[in-house]
């Protein structure tokens, strides 16, 4: 996790719980410098450099003396001297604290300007964060912790908890028509890690080139490929999904696809293309990495099964709870072909020794209890209503704009007029307080033609959708 901005002198001081907070200081008894002078100098330096922030509580004189094997009187004299110099504040019956004016930063901290508040932010790839079933998750955590044996606190199987793998196998067979075997499931920390593990394992089998859909996620695919020592090449997508004939021409022996709901166009890989892709993998001794990212949310037709169910020996299927629950959980899984199960398990072991067990057990309990299915049913209703609000708002304020990719998930593609300037529309919308996002970052070339917008509505309320589209309707309608 990235660190936040530096704490300014106006921020609330850190409040450490406990009788006496720990503080790492040292004294050198062989230096010839008086111990009290050393302690005073080290405390001054800690305050001046910001190690100790304004208002922070120091250890009691008794505790600091015990830690450093000094006399309590020496520490009390040190505190008194620094109080006299204005570095510390001491009150009878209260802890000794750093004075609020004592911190002198070496350079003024730059505070970034606050981002303007948006009427609506149509960012994609984010579910309804406010809809996360926190009460159910906390219940599942408690249930999992209560039932977990002491041995569950050990490192365990790098593939993940056997309990979760059993539950996931049953769930994926039921919901995704996957050929899921708990012995061939590796639990991972989300899609990014799953993709990285898959590509590293493929590289060890001799794969040198991996293809990815275009448009798609070029930045993610190329970065993961480069990290694994592979070359990434784009393959075009049309109304039937990835172009298998074009894939054949690349010479790749692996391809990353989103067959159930192609990112970002939303097209579904047709039955003919599915069979052609499986045939390509068998003939080329190749593998397909399937990103099964939001297949739980379909509206206009029956759900499409996982591609892995057609060719379990040639497809590595990556699934996560990032869209169904929340990205912050960082829980995903790999359905591994038999020949790659051991390499993927070893790679996971070397990477992090396994994912957090308690969270895995909580997810298993959530699914087993039926609360996960209940959450998905509720969110389908929420997303369907937001989808309808988006369609209605565009019909009213920009009726010439065509929407596609609405059969599943929580994003849609808006087709702007051929002469529209995609980047200009995005910039102008931001000036009006609306976050819009173009298709250009999803193309391998970065081209902004034909002009398209990828409109996410997962984390945007119906009212915000309506107001946001109303605010930029004339921009979308074109000149």
DSSP code at position 408:
B
User: pLDDT tens string for the chain (479 positions)?
Assistant: 333 334 444 455 555 555 557 788 888 888 888 999 999 999 999 888 888 888 888 888 888 889 889 999 999 999 889 898 889 988 776 788 898 875 555 555 566 666 778 999 999 999 999 999 999 999 999 999 999 999 999 999 999 999 999 999 999 999 999 999 999 999 999 999 999 999 999 999 999 999 999 999 999 999 999 999 999 999 999 999 999 999 999 999 999 999 999 999 999 999 999 999 999 999 999 999 999 887 778 776 667 889 999 999 999 999 999 999 999 999 999 999 999 999 999 999 999 999 999 999 999 999 999 999 999 999 999 999 999 999 999 999 999 999 998 888 899 999 999 999 999 999 999 999 999 999 999 999 999 999 999 999 999 999 999 999 999 999 998 66
Q: Is 369 exposed, middle or buried (0-12, 13-18, 19+ CB in 10 A)?
A: middle
The confidence score (pLDDT) of residue 4 equals 39
Using alpha carbons, select from 218, 228, 227, 259 the residue that is nearest to residue 242: 259
- pLDDT number for residue 133: 97
The end-to-end CA distance of the chain, in Å, is 44
Beta-carbon contacts of residue 338 (< 8 Å; ≥ 6 apart): 184, 312, 313
Q: What is the pLDDT of residue 3?
A: 39
Q: Please count the CA atoms within 13 angstroms of the CA of 121 that sit on its side-chain side.
A: 10
Q: Model pTM greater than 0.75?
A: yes
Give the residue among 286, 263, 260 at the shortest CA–CA distance from 274. 260
Q: Can you give the pLDDT at residue 110?
A: 63
pLDDT of residue 8: 42
292/72 Cα distance (integer angstroms): 63
Contact of 98 with 79, CB cutoff 8 Å: no
Task: Kindly list the distances between the CA atom of residue 216 and the CA atoms of 24, 185, 262, 441, in Å, as whole numbers in the listed order.
Answer: 49, 26, 8, 9
Q: Which domains does the chain have, with CATH numbers?
A: 35-98 (1.10.10.10), 120-127+374-477 (3.90.1150.10), 133-369 (3.40.640.10)
């Amino acid at each position: 996790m990235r660190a936040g901005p530096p704490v300014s002198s106006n921020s609330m001081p850190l409040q450490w719980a406990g009788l006496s907070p720990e503080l790492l200081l040292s004294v050198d008894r062989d230096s010839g410098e008086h111990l009290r002078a050393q302690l005073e100098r080290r405390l001054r330096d800690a305050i001046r450099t910001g190690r100790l922030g304004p208002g922070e509580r120091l250890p009691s004189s008794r505790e600091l003396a015990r830690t450093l094997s000094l006399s309590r009187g020496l520490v009390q004299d040190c505190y008194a001297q620094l109080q006299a110099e204005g570095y510390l504040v001491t009150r009878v019956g209260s802890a000794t604290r750093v004075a609020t004016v004592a911190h002198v930063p070496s350079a003024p901290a730059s505070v970034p300007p606050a981002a303007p508040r948006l009427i609506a932010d149509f960012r994609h790839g984010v579910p309804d964060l406010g809809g996360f079933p926190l009460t159910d998750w906390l219940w599942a955590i408690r249930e999992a912790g209560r039932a977990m044996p002491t041995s569950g606190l050990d490192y365990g199987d790098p593939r993940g908890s056997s309990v979760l793998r059993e539950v996931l196998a049953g769930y994926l067979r039921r919901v995704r028509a996957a050929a899921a075997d708990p012995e061939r499931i590796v639990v991972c920390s989300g899609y990014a890690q799953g993709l990285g593990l898959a590509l590293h394992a493929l590289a060890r089998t001799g794969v040198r080139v991996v293809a990815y859909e275009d448009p798609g996620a070029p930045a993610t695919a190329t970065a993961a490929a480069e990290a694994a020592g592979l070359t990434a090449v784009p393959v075009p997508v049309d109304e039937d999904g990835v172009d298998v004939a074009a894939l054949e021409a690349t010479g790749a022996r692996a391809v990353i696809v989103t067959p159930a709901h192609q990112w970002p166009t939303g097209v579904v890989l047709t039955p003919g293309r599915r069979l052609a892709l499986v045939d390509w993998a068998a003939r080329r001794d190749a593998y397909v990495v399937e990103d099964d990212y939001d297949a739980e949310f379909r509206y206009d037709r029956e759900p499409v099964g996982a591609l892995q169910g057609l060719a379990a020996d040639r497809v590595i299927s990556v699934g996560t709870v990032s869209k169904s629950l929340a990205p912050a959980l960082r829980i995903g899984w790999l359905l591994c072909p038999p020949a790659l199960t051991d390499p993927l398990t070893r790679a996971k072991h070397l990477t992090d020794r396994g994912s957090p067990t308690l969270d895995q057990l909580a997810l298993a309990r959530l699914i087993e209890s039926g609360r996960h299915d209940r959450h998905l049913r509720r969110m389908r209703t929420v997303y369907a209503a937001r989808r309808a609000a988006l369609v209605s708002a565009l019909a009213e304020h920009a009726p010439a704009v065509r929407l596609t990719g609405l059969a599943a998930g929580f994003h849609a593609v808006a087709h702007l007029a051929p002469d529209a300037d995609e980047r200009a529309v995005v910039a102008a919308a931001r000036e009006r307080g609306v976050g819009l996002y173009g298709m250009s970052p999803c193309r391998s070339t970065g081209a902004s033609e034909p002009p398209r917008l990828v409109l996410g509505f997962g984390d945007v309320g119906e009212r915000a959708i309506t107001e946001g589209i109303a605010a930029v309707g004339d921009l979308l309608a074109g000149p």
